[in-house]
Each structure stands twice: as structure tokens, then as C-alpha cells.
């Protein structure tokens, strides 16, 4: 079956005429060189032997996307978005194709090089990114562990807000739509070219009642940055961000309620609030024509509090009638409070000297990261009859710490103008401490490696073969239990990945791409709902194999179209679940979008995204019902007048889930072996008015 699947993948990619998931920017001889900052070496997508997707400012402006998750979902089939809070962007999780349980923990998300991934089990808050301030989005699929370290085993996403020039430019916008959703944001960028100084700032707010009952959310965002350039190429960049997200948790529904009352919520008092701030500083000094020294420092603090309220009843001992059964009712008010501090410093040396007369680029660096989480849980239970006591209150405090130190190197040697070899490696030692576990400490020695061949025979064409070895440590609070007893810190995941692919842009307007990949992981960390509160290392390897193919065409002020298809066969390889599908992994994903200009100032657009059925979380034996397949249609119009009194304005209107499809993009199989569902949002509208100056 595995050989057959791989053969089908290679044949499909070959028949399309390209192998790569990389959709580089539409190329033209007149376009500026677009650098992928996540490469750490100022390379373009065509110079990186891996699947890369660069989404430019122009693409973002014309996408009709409401937020960063909406943008990612509309631009590639190799990413999946899971929204456990219906339309709430703060509860959106992004994962690469084929990853199910906690897939967001394998995708490193950065803003201007600063990671948004938390060390705990919370997904990166993608809602804190103001889309109007984004210059470009870089999506790198496949392991990035050599250069980026932990959390990048499946890929990385870097969001760039730093301006590309010194031009003064501002933008303000307001939006409103379904579910009493209202928001506003503003951004400004500019600089002084003679002084070599750039600056930028943005801020935003959004409030919504949400699609479901008890689905309210409110977010506040702010960000700013400053960059100083010197004539020899050296620079200093400092940026900071702040986010406050406050929202209710509508929770899951039974299959019957999901089908007939999808807007309902049984979670009557659950809420969550997270306040996060961070600072990032990067200095690069040019020593001479061949040597550069770059040092990056980042700090973030995240403060969280939440409430979960449960109620129910059961039968137990009756004090009046001995052991005769009597109904006992109970309520449980569970609250969490904690602070999470993270520090990271990464110095690196970049050398571009020739080696044996050949162009060579060497990156050597080291990294140190420290994460500290301390908090408390308060559990207030109320029970009847009175022999239980009217209220039972328990409170526990805990602390998690992690230190990691690593060294890494990557070398790219250009054998000819069209052939290059790349090799790299990372060694990292990690110290974990968790005060809630029976065995509280663990020291892990991990390593990552990659080796690649890059072929660029003609302009705007690349082909590559790449092998990677990767690792990932558990989240700080990914606590394992057995028989309700806390165990030792989980082992790190390890694995390897092979990518074969190509990307070709021709006639300036056409692009075709495809990629064949195989990934195998060992000790993958999963959440097993059938054993209360248990996170476990998978008892066997997990194999993922598949391909992505697609193409695009874009003619400015005329029309454009994009189509991509991703197939993934993700299954357990050995053990009790041998051959079973990985939960929440869709085998096929189709993404297509198009745009037609009605005239130079106005265009209409539409898109379609289809995912095949999936098994629910924790259904490793594939015994339950599949989460049904679904296809979603979005459409909209954008008008940017050029007349005297309206110049600078942009008016937009978008409809999501146009056909009001009733679906759920997340489900879990509980300990009682029935599925619970997280309903997704129905049809929604959004109006946007913005003004640029």
C-alpha cells in the first residue's frame, strides 16, 4: 500500500510537469528581488532547496482575506486551519498537511523573526497580527529545525511587517459584519533615507458576538518597530508587540446538537483571557565583504487566566438508607492562572567566501532559550447531599522550566551557476523540569540535519531533492498520566523527511509547482482522550507520504487563477494501530481561487476549498464515525476608485461559506467512545472601508 501510494504520488506530480509545493512570487525581470527572511541568509525562494510560498503585499491586498488565518487558507492547500471557536480568530490553529494532534506545535510562526509559538500547549495567537501592516508572508514546508530549532519540525511561517523602503505611508480601516462584528485598525510606516532610519507602527481592535451562543471575543493589538541602517550594510532593528485577547469558550456539542442546533453552547460560564507582550532586537554587523555577524535577542511574557464550569449528577451512598443508591448532584468551578516568560538569544556568523574557487555560503551559530511557567489551579466543587460537605476547594501551584542550548551550521556550495549542494546540522541539549510529575526532570540530547541538491537550469526554474532529520520537545504542560498518576517528562519526537520537487515561472504570468514528500516520526506526542488527561508518546512510528501539485496565472488588471491539490496518506506504522489513519488528517485538500477585473478600479473574486473526511481526535483505532468531508465557497468584490474625492479609499465586501454549509472542522472521540463536535461558522458577511495616505 505504501509503495503504491508513493508511485501514484510520483506519477501525478510527473504528469503535471513539476515537483514542488513551492509557489514563488510571480516572476518578472522588472520585479525587485524578494528575500525570504526566514532563510537567515537573505535568499530568495528560488535559492532555497525546499517548498516555499511567498505571499506579497499586493496578493494580500487583493485576497479579500479578513485575517492571517483566512489568508493562509486561501493561498495554499498544504496548510490546514482548525477553528475550535467557530469564527473566533484567536482559537484558530494552523498545521501542515498530514499532521493531526496538536499539529500547530510542529509549525514555527514568527513575526519579523520573533517566534509567536508559546512553550505551553496554547496555539500561536495568529489573531494578534494586523493584516494591513504585513509586507509579505513566507511559508516554508518541511523541517526547518537546523536553523530554527524546536517547533519547526513540519515547517515555518514568517510574517514580515518591516517596510521595504523609506516612503511615508499610512492606512486606516474599519470593518463590520455578521454576528455584530466590528473592528478598526491603523498602520503607518516611513523613514529618513539620508539618516538610514525606518519606522513602523500598527494597532487594531475587534469585537464580536460570535456565530454561536457564548462565542463572544474581543482583541486589542499593537506593534511598532525601528530600524537603523549604516552605509556598510550593518543594521539594528528593534520591534515590540502587545496583544490582549478576551473571549468565551462555546465548547463542543453532541452529534445530534451539532446537526440540529449548531449555534447552541452547553458551556455556560467558560472563558479565557491572555495578555502577551514581547520585544525583539536584531543587530547585524558587516565585518568585511565576506563576513557578517548577526545577533538576535527576544523576550516575551504571556499572562493567562481561564475558567471552566462543569455540572452533573451520579448515584452514590445514601446516608439515610445505607448503601442504597441516591442521586448526587455536583458543580465544579475550575480556574487557572499563570505567567509564562521566554527569553532567547541567537548569535550567528555568515561567511560568503569562495571555497576552492567556488561560491560558498556558510552560516554558523549558537542559540540559548529559557522558558519559565508558574501558576496555580483552583478547583471549587459543590456537592449534595450534605455528607460530602457543601463545598470542596482545592488549590495547587506548579512550575515548569526549560533551558535549551544549541549549536548549528549550514553550508551551501555552488558547484556551477545552476547546481548547488547544501548540508547542515544542529546539536541541542534541553533541560526540562516539571514540578507536577513523579519524575520531575529530564535532560535530552537532540540533533537535526539536512542535505539537499538544488538545480536551477534556467531562469525562474528550480528543482531539488532534500533529506532532513528533525526533532521536537514536548510542551511544558504536556503532562503524561497513567492511572491518574503523573509520570515522567515525555520523550522528544524525532523523525526524518524527504522532499523532491520543482517550481517554474514562465512567460511572466504562469507558474506550475509540485512536491512529493515522505515523513516518518518516532515517539510522536499524541493526546489520548480514552485515558483521562493523558499525553503519550506514540507506541509506534507514524508515516506520512503524499504530494502537492498546482499552478497559477495572473495578469494585472485582467484576471488571475490559482489551483492546488494536496494528497497525504498519514498512518500508524506498526503496533496495535498498524495501518490505521492518523486522526484529523485529511487525505485530500483542494484549494482554488480566481479574480476578474471588471474595470481598472474594481474586481470580483471567488474561492473554493474542499477537504475529505477525517477521523476524530483520539480515534487511533478508527472505530468511530468520520468527520464528514466539506467544501466551502467564498466570494467578494473590491473597489478602489481613482476619482478626485475618493482616491485613496478602498471598499470591500466578502461572503464566507457562501452556501451556508453545515460542517465541523474539528471533532474528538471521548472516553465513552462517542464523538463530540466543534461546529464551524455558517454564512457570514464582512464590509471593509480603508483609506491610504
Model confidence at 674: pLDDT above 80: no
For residues 428 and 404, is the Cβ–Cβ distance under 8 A? yes
Q: Smallest Cα–Cα separation from 134: which of 64, 55, 197?
A: 55
List of residues 6+ apart from 15 with CB closer than 8 A: none
The secondary structure of 599-615 as a DSSP string is: ETTEEEEEEEEEE--EE
Percent of the chain surpassing pLDDT 70: 88
If one compares 28 and 389, the residue with the highest pLDDT of the two is 389
Question: Tens digits of per-residue pLDDT, 611-634?
Answer: 999 998 888 889 888 889 999 999
Mean pLDDT of 425-452: 90
> Residue 169 has what pLDDT?
93
Question: Tens digits of per-residue pLDDT, 254-269?
Answer: 888 888 999 999 888 8
Q: Smallest Cα–Cα separation from 144: which of 343, 371, 346, 410?
A: 410
Torsion of CA 161, 163, 168, 174, to 10 degrees: -20
Model confidence at 387: pLDDT above 60: no
> Residue 311 has what pLDDT?
64
Sheet holding 52-56, edge to edge: 52-56, 136-141, 155-160, 107-111, 114-115
Model confidence at 582: pLDDT above 60: yes
Question: Tens digits of per-residue pLDDT, 109-163?
Answer: 999 888 999 998 888 988 888 888 899 999 999 999 999 988 899 999 999 999 9
Model confidence at 280: pLDDT above 60: yes
Mean pLDDT of 389-400: 76
> Residue 486 has what pLDDT?
67
> CA 235 to CA 226: how far, in whole Å?
10
- What cell was used for 67? 485575517
Least reliable range by pLDDT among 159-163, 439-443, 620-624, 644-648: 439-443
Mean pLDDT of 272-278: 94
Q: Does domain 2-692 have CATH number 2.40.170.20?
A: yes
Write the DSSP symbol of residue 393. E
Mean pLDDT of 578-589: 93
Mean pLDDT of 474-492: 76
State pTM to two decimals. 0.88
> Residue 28 has what pLDDT?
34
> Residue 26 has what pLDDT?
35
Find how far residue 306's CA is from the centre of its chain.
23
Q: Smallest Cα–Cα separation from 109: which of 171, 173, 37, 159?
A: 159
Model confidence at 461: pLDDT above 80: yes
> Residue 37 has what pLDDT?
86
> Residue 150 has what pLDDT?
84
If one compares 26 and 583, the residue with the highest pLDDT of the two is 583
* Parallel, antiparallel or unpaired: strands 649-656 and 684-692: antiparallel
Mean pLDDT of 555-564: 93
Model confidence at 516: pLDDT above 90: yes
> Residue 308 has what pLDDT?
85
**Residue ranges of domains in the chain:** 2-692
Under the banding of pLDDT at 50, 70 and 90, the label for residue 99 is confident
Under the banding of pLDDT at 50, 70 and 90, the label for residue 1 is very low
Model confidence at 484: pLDDT above 60: no
Question: Tens digits of per-residue pLDDT, 224-240?
Answer: 999 999 999 999 999 99
Model confidence at 16: pLDDT above 60: no
> CA 38 to CA 160: how far, in whole Å?
9
Under the banding of pLDDT at 50, 70 and 90, the label for residue 511 is very high
Least reliable range by pLDDT among 28-32, 287-291, 509-513: 28-32
> Residue 55 has what pLDDT?
92
Helix/strand/coil for 571: strand
Model confidence at 24: pLDDT above 50: no
Which residue is associated with the grid cell 469585537?
207
Mean pLDDT of 372-376: 92
Under the banding of pLDDT at 50, 70 and 90, the label for residue 46 is very high
Percent of the chain surpassing pLDDT 90: 61
- Mean pLDDT computed over every residue of the chain: 87
> Residue 283 has what pLDDT?
97
Question: Tens digits of per-residue pLDDT, 675-692?
Answer: 889 999 999 999 999 999
If one compares 609 and 383, the residue with the highest pLDDT of the two is 609
- What cell was used for 331? 458543580
Question: Tens digits of per-residue pLDDT, 308-362?
Answer: 876 665 554 444 444 444 455 657 778 889 999 999 999 999 999 888 889 999 9
Which of the given ranges, 383-392, 448-457, 638-647, has the highest pLDDT on average? 448-457
Mean pLDDT of 296-313: 85
Model confidence at 458: pLDDT above 50: yes
Q: Which residues of 581-594 are buried (b: 16+ CB within 10 A; e: fewer)?
A: bbbbbbbbbbbbbe
Q: Smallest Cα–Cα separation from 84: which of 684, 686, 676?
A: 676
Under the banding of pLDDT at 50, 70 and 90, the label for residue 553 is very high
> CA 453 to CA 330: how far, in whole Å?
63
What is the SS3 assignment for 203-250? EEEEEECCCCCCCCEEEEEEEEEEEEECCCCCEEEEEEEEEEEEEECC
Under the banding of pLDDT at 50, 70 and 90, the label for residue 478 is confident
The secondary structure of 171-202 as a DSSP string is: EEEEEEEGGGEEEEEEEEEEEETTTTEEEEEE
If one compares 352 and 32, the residue with the highest pLDDT of the two is 352
Under the banding of pLDDT at 50, 70 and 90, the label for residue 391 is low
Amino acid at each position: 500500500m505504501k509503495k503504491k501510494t508513493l508511485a501514484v504520488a510520483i506519477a501525478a506530480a510527473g504528469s503535471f510537469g513539476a515537483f514542488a509545493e513551492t509557489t514563488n512570487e510571480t516572476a518578472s525581470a522588472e520585479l525587485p528581488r524578494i528575500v525570504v527572511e526566514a532563510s537567515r541568509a537573505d535568499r530568495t525562494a528560488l535559492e532555497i532547496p525546499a517548498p516555499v510560498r511567498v505571499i506579497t503585499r499586493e496578493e494580500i491586498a487583493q485576497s479579500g482575506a479578513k485575517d492571517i488565518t483566512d489568508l493562509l487558507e486561501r493561498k495554499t492547500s498544504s496548510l490546514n486551519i482548525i477553528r475550535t471557536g467557530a469564527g473566533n480568530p484567536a482559537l484558530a490553529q494552523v498545521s501542515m498537511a498530514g499532521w493531526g494532534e496538536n499539529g500547530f506545535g510542529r509549525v514555527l510562526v514568527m513575526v519579523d523573526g520573533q517566534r509567536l509559538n508559546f512553550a505551553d500547549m496554547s496555539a500561536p495567537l495568529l489573531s494578534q497580527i494586523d493584516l494591513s501592516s504585513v509586507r509579505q508572508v513566507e511559508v516554508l514546508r518541511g523541517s526547518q529545525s537546523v536553523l530554527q530549532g524546536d517547533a519547526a519540525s513540519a515547517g515555518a511561517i514568517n510574517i514580515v511587517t518591516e517596510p521595504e523602503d523609506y516612503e511615508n505611508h499610512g492606512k486606516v480601516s474599519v470593518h463590520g459584519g455578521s454576528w455584530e462584528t466590528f473592528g478598526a485598525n491603523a498602520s503607518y510606516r516611513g523613514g529618513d533615507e539620508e539618516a538610514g532610519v525606518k519606522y513602523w507602527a500598527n494597532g487594531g481592535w475587534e469585537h464580536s458576538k460570535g456565530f454561536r451562543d457564548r462565542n463572544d471575543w474581543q482583541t486589542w493589538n499593537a506593534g511598532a518597530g525601528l530600524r537603523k541602517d549604516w552605509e556598510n550594510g550593518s543594521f539594528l532593528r528593534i520591534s515590540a508587540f502587545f496583544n490582549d485577547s478576551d473571549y468565551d469558550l462555546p465548547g463542543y456539542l453532541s452529534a445530534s446538537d451539532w446537526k440540529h442546533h449548531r449555534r447552541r453552547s452547553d458551556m455556560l460560564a467558560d472563558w479565557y483571557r491572555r495578555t502577551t507582550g514581547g520585544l525583539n532586537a536584531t543587530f547585524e554587523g558587516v565585518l568585511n565583504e565576506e563576513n557578517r555577524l548577526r545577533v538576535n535577542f527576544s523576550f516575551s511574557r504571556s499572562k493567562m487566566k481561564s475558567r471552566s464550569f462543569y455540572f452533573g449528577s451520579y448515584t452514590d451512598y445514601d446516608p439515610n438508607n445505607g448503601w442504597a443508591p441516591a442521586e448526587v448532584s455536583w458543580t465544579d468551578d475550575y480556574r487557572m492562572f499563570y505567567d509564562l516568560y521566554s527569553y532567547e538569544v541567537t548569535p550567528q556568523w555568515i561567511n560568503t567566501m569562495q571555497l576552492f574557487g567556488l561560491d560558498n555560503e556558510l552560516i554558523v551559530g549558537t542559540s540559548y532559550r529559557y522558558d519559565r511557567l508558574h501558576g496555580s489551579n483552583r478547583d471549587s466543587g459543590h456537592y449534595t447531599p450534605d455528607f460530602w460537605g457543601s463545598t470542596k476547594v482545592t488549590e495547587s501551584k506548579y512550575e515548569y522550566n526549560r533551558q535549551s542550548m544549541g549549536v548549528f551550521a549550514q553550508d551551501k556550495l555552488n558547484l556551477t551557476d545552476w547546481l548547488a549542494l547544501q548540508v547542515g546540522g544542529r546539536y541541542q541539549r534541553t533541560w526540562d523540569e516539571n514540578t507536577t510529575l513523579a519524575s520531575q526532570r529530564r535532560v535530552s540530547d537532540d540533533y537535526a540535519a539536512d542535505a539537499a541538491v538544488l538545480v536551477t537550469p534556467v531562469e525562474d526554474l528550480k528543482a531539488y531533492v532534500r533529506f532532513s532529520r528533525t526533532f521536537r520537545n514536548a510542551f511544558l504542560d504536556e503532562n503524561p498520566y497513567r492511572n491518574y498518576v503523573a509520570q515522567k517528562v515525555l520523550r522528544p519526537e524525532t523523525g526524518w523527511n524527504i522532499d523532491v520537487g520543482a517550481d517554474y515561472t514562465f512567460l511572466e504570468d504562469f507558474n506550475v509547482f509540485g512536491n512529493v514528500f515522505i515523513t516518518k516520526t518516532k515517539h510522536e506526542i499524541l493526546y489520548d482522550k480514552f485515558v483521562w488527561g493523558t499525553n503519550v508518546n506514540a507506541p509506534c512510528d507514524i508515516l506520512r507520504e503524499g504530494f502537492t501539485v498546482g499552478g497559477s496565472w495572473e495578469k494585472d488588471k485582467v484576471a488571475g487563477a490559482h489551483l492546488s491539490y494536496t494528497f497525504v496518506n498519514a498512518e500508524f506504522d506498526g503496533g496495535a494501530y498498524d495501518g490505521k489513519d492518523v486522526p484529523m488528517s485529511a487525505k485530500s485538500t483542494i484549494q482554488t481561487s480566481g479574480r476578474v477585473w471588471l474595470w481598472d478600479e474594481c474586481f470580483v473574486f471567488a474561492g473554493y476549498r474542499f477537504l475529505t473526511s477525517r477521523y476524530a481526535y483520539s480515534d487511533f483505532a478508527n472505530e468511530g464515525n468520520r468527520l464528514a468531508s466539506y467544501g466551502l465557497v467564498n466570494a467578494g468584490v473590491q473597489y478602489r476608485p481613482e476619482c478626485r474625492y475618493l482616491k485613496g479609499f478602498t471598499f470591500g465586501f466578502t461572503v464566507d461559506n457562501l452556501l451556508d454549509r453545515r460542517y465541523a472542522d474539528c471533532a474528538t472521540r471521548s472516553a465513552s467512545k462517542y464523538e463530540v463536535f466543534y461546529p464551524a461558522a455558517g454564512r457570514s458577511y464582512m464590509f471593509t472601508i480603508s483609506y491610504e495616505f
